[in-house]
Structure formats: C-alpha cells, structure tokens
C-alpha cells in the first residue's frame, strides 16, 4: 500500500492506495494536522503502507508567488516526517505524461484518464472505484498511480519472474 500527497500551502490532499491502486482512505487535512498524522495515524491504522509519494513543485522559468514557496516548505516538512522504507518526489509533468501522454494535460484530463483506467466514480447506491474522491484528492491519486507505474510496476514484474 502507498500514501500519496498533493500538497498545498495550507491544506493537503492525501490518498492511501491498496495494492490494486484503489483509494481506501483519502481526504484533505490542514497541513499541521497532516504532518502529525503521517506516521502516527497511518502506521497505527494502516501498517501495510510502505510507500510514500508526494507531488513536487517544478520551476518552468515563470515568476511564482507566496503560495508556491509555502507549498515547497510543507513538502519538505512532509518529506522529513515521512518515515517509510520507500519514498519519491513525483513531478506534475511525470503525472501528465504517465497518465495522459501529453504535457498540456489539465486536471480534468488526468481525472478522466484515471476513470478510463480504473472505472467510474459511481453513486451512493452503486459506489465505483473513485466514489467520494473529489477536488485535490484526484491529484493525490494521480501522484500515487504515477509512483506505482514508474517505480513499483517493474519491481512487481521482476518479483513474478523470480517466483
């Protein structure tokens, strides 16, 4: 299982994905609470979480404001606090290329790519793969799926071949 975070300057979205990449726990928390919860809550309640991915900010030569610097500050705090055997920074461009095959992909394209790959959101009566996922949690799921695709999928295939 893996924990993925889409950081923000004040709140961050998180998604815990099981081995099939289905979101089993997700939401948004104020950063100061999320920072305390990363190890205590996840390790106590979900000891199978062994991987950590967090979306990293990248500079493309444009001027940025206070919110970007505050987000980078929180990324560093989460990174330092995350005591997991495996962790990676995932850049948004990696998510766009992995899920959509296009650097110009927007949030709506990424959301649709996830739905196309895993199934519908569903309804209360008939929940789908992403039932309850909304807003920034989609970005956290995209971060986790990209982490799996780029860093874990090859390891899983290698383990199967060796067995």
Q: What is the CATH number of the domain that holds 35?
A: 3.30.420.10
Locus of tokens 């990174």:
79
Overall number of domains in the chain: 1
Rounded Cα gap, residues 64 and 72, in angstroms: 12
CA distances from 141 to 63, 125, 162 (A): 28, 23, 29
pTM for the whole structure:
0.90
Nearest to 34 by CA among 59, 60, 16, 58: 16
Q: What is the structure's pLDDT at 156?
A: 59
pLDDT in the model for residue 59? 79
Specify whether the CB–CB gap between 94 and 146 falls below 8 A.
Answer: yes
Enclosing domain of residue 84: 2-162
3 state SS of 89: strand
CA angle, residues 29, 142, 162, in degrees to nearest 5: 120
Residues of the chain with pLDDT under 50: 158
pLDDT at 160: 53
Give the CA diameter of the chain: 51
**Model confidence pLDDT, tens digit, residues 3-25:** 999 999 999 999 999 999 999 99
């Amino acid at each position: 299982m893996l924990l993925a975070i889409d950081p923000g300057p004040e709140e961050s979205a998180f998604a815990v994905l099981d081995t099939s990449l289905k979101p089993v726990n997700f939401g948004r928390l104020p950063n100061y609470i999320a920072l305390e919860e990363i190890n205590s809550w996840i390790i106590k309640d979900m000891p199978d979480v062994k991987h950590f991915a967090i979306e990293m900010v990248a500079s493309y030569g444009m001027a940025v404001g206070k919110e970007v610097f505050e987000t980078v500050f929180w990324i560093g705090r989460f990174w330092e606090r995350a005591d997991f055997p495996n962790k990676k920074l995932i850049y948004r461009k990696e998510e766009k290329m992995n899920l959509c095959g296009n650097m110009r992909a927007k949030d709506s394209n990424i959301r649709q790519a996830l739905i196309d790959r895993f199934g519908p959101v569903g309804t209360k009566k008939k929940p789908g793969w992403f039932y309850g996922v909304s807003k920034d949690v989609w970005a956290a799921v995209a971060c986790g799926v990209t982490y799996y695709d780029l860093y874990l999928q090859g390891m899983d295939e290698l383990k199967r071949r060796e067995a």
